[in-house]
Chain A
């Protein structure tokens, strides 16, 4: 089946440092979404990217979709303790089982004050 590889699995940063997580697919995606899960919570939708080369920003968060629509990144500038959690990407493929929706394994962001 389709796979979305997400790295790193864990990232420790000092508060105020930047953070980036990456997702890669071996095949072209129709779109990619990003979700955030706070400790003890459930994943919550952050954003969707659809177009090749698309860049979207939400305050300190910048999301990019690669030109080939096979990779994506989430970058957080100047992390804050409220950014703690696990960030998941989810790629949607044309066709395939499970509506072609595949989640990455997630990146756990740990912030040290």
Chain B
């Protein structure tokens, strides 16, 4: 059981370049999230998808787009990378039920924009 698979693990971009971060989960969860983590800032929500076919903005959506391709996959796209987007990005798949809540995180993508 792979859980949440996130690719790539590391990436260096030049300012203005574009890229897509991929995320896939095999737990049949409806909810998937994208976070960025910067020193001292905790986990900041970029976008989320409560179900297949829906996406919504989180706390810091500017400069990003997302696609919920199907129930398994939720991708994050940087159309024109900026140095301020240097960060660690985490995808999470959320189990939500009347019994409770649990977030499963991918390994993270360490992105540097130069």
Contact = CB atoms under 8 A, between A and B. Distances in A.
State which size class the interface on A falls in. Answer: 20 to 34
For the complex of A and B, the 6 pairs showing the least CB-CB separation, nearest first, are A105-B42, A42-B105, A103-B43, A48-B100, A92-B101, A106-B42
Please classify the interface of chain B as helix (H, G, I), strand (E, B), loop, or mixed, using the class held by over half of its residues.
Answer: strand
Nearest to B101: A92
Interface in A28-49: 30-31, 33, 35, 41-45, 48
Nearest to A1: B59
Most A CB within 10 A of own CB, among B35, B94, B101, B107: B101
A42 B43 contact: no
Interface of B: 31, 33, 35, 40-43, 45, 48, 50, 56, 58-59, 90, 94, 96, 100-108
A31 B100 contact: yes
Interface in A57-97: 88, 90, 92, 97
B101 A31 contact: yes
Contacts of A43: 43, 90, 103, 105
B96 A33 contact: no
